[in-house]
Amino acid sequence: MQTVMTSGIPSRIQPLKIGRTLPRERIWPQWVIWNCQVSLVVLLLASWEIGVRMEWIDPFFWSSPSAILDTALIFIRRGDAFIDTWFTFRSTILGFIFGTLGGAIVGLSFWWSRNYSAIFEPFILIFHAIPKLALGPLVILVFGMGLASKVAMAIALTIVVSILNTYSGVQAVDGDLIRLMYSLGANRWQVFTKVVIPSAMPWIISSLRVNIGLALAGAIVGEFISSQYGLGRKILYAGSTYDIALIWVATIVLSTLAMVMYWLVIQLEKWLLKGVMHKKV
């Protein structure tokens, strides 16, 4: 605060205001955001349909919303939608579960021996660097054209991410807490179950959202290479027959399936994190 002399009498003046306040954006209600999103989709579809009917857009390469709707109804009536979606869903979920759990177990096992982790870590990194698409034909030959090969491809894409995340969590465990447990008479198994696993759980959980997308990608890659069912096989078949509308239908169903599984994983993540925080409290 500054003082100045006015007619011999000191008086206080307000300090100068420097700068401006940060602008605050008004947050729209959620229903307004949803309406905007729906309006954008409707506008896009309407423009697409008009463009096709006015011959501005070539329907051979892009199809049209009306043709896609007709193909979707046929896809549902024949029962292919349920069969192919269920096949892709099963292979994705199984690959996600086995890849995440298997990777977590391997990553946690690295805590037991530095020599053991030093031996196997380079091989895991090499496997992680290999394009999994190159392993597709080998996986199909070994596991066949059925569900097992698609699950194997999904595991191949998810297990390394889970291993590396879990191992990072193991390395981040508080050393002072481990020494405290030993000083209180705990053995290695008790330290592993009471300290290492709870400390690594947030790292394991953080890989779930990534792994569900990788598992779906692995299942689709397996279906592209060789499969009797699945949305990936349906897309490949539609492409080989130049059925663009069917490609769009299968892609939309696949996107919907991906969003549903991603939402389920988010709910699982919240439940697991709640359990971890409850145990820490």
pLDDT digits (tens, 9 = 90+) for 194-236: 889 988 998 998 889 899 999 999 999 999 888 889 999 999 9
First to last CA, the chain: 47
pTM: 0.83
In the predicted model, is pLDDT for residue 101 greater than 60?
yes
Contact 30, 212 (CB under 8 A): no
In the predicted model, is pLDDT for residue 13 greater than 60?
no
pLDDT at 275: 66
Question: CA-to-CA distance for 243 and 260, rounded, in angstroms?
Answer: 26
> Which of 21 and 110 is assigned the larger pLDDT?
110
- What are the extents of the domains in the chain? 29-59, 63-280
> Which of 24 and 181 is assigned the larger pLDDT?
181
Q: What is the DSSP string of 228-264?
A: SSSHHHHHHHHHHTT-HHHHHHHHHHHHHHHHHHHHH
Percent of the chain predicted with pLDDT > 70: 90
> 107 CB contacts (<8 Å, ≥6 apart)?
162, 163, 164, 165, 166, 167, 169, 170, 200, 204
What's the CATH architecture for 63-280?
Orthogonal Bundle (1.10)
Contact 153, 219 (CB under 8 A): yes
In the predicted model, is pLDDT for residue 166 greater than 90?
yes
> Which of 93 and 145 is assigned the larger pLDDT?
93
Helix (H) or strand (E) holding 165: helix 147-171
Q: Express each pLDDT in 22-62 by its tens digit.
A: 677 788 888 889 999 999 999 999 999 999 999 899 888 89
pLDDT at 97: 94
> 16 CB contacts (<8 Å, ≥6 apart)?
none
